[in-house]
Amino acid sequence: MSRPRDVRERWDRVGGREFRSLRAGQRHDDPRDVVLVPGLGALSYLVDTLAACGASARAHLLDVPGFGHRGARVCPAGVGAVAEAVCGWVDEVVGGPVVLVGHSTGAQAALHVAVARPDLVRSLVLLGPTFPPEQRGVTGLLGPFVRNFLHEPPTLVPATVPDYLRGGPREIARFIRSAQRDEPEQLITEVRCPVLLARGEHDAFAPQPWVDRLAAAARVGRSEVVGGAHTFPFRRGAVTARLVATLMQDSGTR
């Protein structure tokens, strides 16, 4: 999948490892960097969102755990390990607090970052946060997968499968299991910054009662619903970027 011309690849050495990211935009009047954390290590479906965020801010899409290339992984495949890698990258590369945006399992990792290192997160956007308690069992994902898949665009497959193949089925399964063991409903009560949660109207992995529960548990939180299913940011980057911009405007954190 080709990248927009204004999206550039970047490599940084973080924690002794080469850390790949994609970047869009320059330093604008708004000094806040926007950092995107993908779900299950797939990057391409968020490139459109990266480019849209880059129109008004300096934006970064992190290749964690490293499925977007054939080199060594920057971290193991798991929510906690991804969160630790994101903390290291923000600390060493940006050097200050960011607007942190996570999608799917990336939302869970972003939540961990906001709790572990509140000094690194100005505001937090959780897109399609997974998984509610009823989806944490061995068979809990089958029904939601089928219901959600019916509403996803066919072009999502070529946008995500190459990254999943590089990751491998064992690592993908490990990543999913780590997300199922996670308890976002406990963590979000500790977040100090403003939080925006958003889901697609047909998102079976982040049902409305679950997202509302998380928003109510946050100190300063609210939720939004947009069109689409779980991967609603795919090819709808302008919509997703507007969500991020709304939180930035409302929170006024500089």
Which strands, in side-by-side order, build the sheet including 17-24?
A: 7-14, 17-24, 58-62, 33-37, 98-103, 121-127, 195-200, 221-226
- Cα separation, 205 vs 186, whole angstroms: 18
Would you say how long the chain is, in residues? 254
pLDDT at 67: 96
- Cα separation, 63 vs 68, whole angstroms: 6
Going from N- to C-terminal start, the domains of the chain cover 7-251
Asked if residue 143 lies in contact with residue 168, where contact means CB atoms within 8 angstroms, the answer is no
Report field, pTM of the whole predicted structure over 0.85: yes
Sequence-distant (6+) residues with CB within 8 A of 226 are 198, 199, 200, 201, 232, 236, 239, 240, 243
Asked if residue 194 lies in contact with residue 250, where contact means CB atoms within 8 angstroms, the answer is yes
Spans of the chain, pLDDT less than 70: 1-3, 5, 27-31, 250-254
Q: Which residues pair with 79 in a beta bridge?
A: none
For CA atoms 105, 229, 24, 124, give the dihedral sign.
Answer: negative
Domain 7-251 has CATH 3.40.50.1820: yes
pLDDT at 246: 86
Sequence-distant (6+) residues with CB within 8 A of 26 are 58
pLDDT at 190: 97
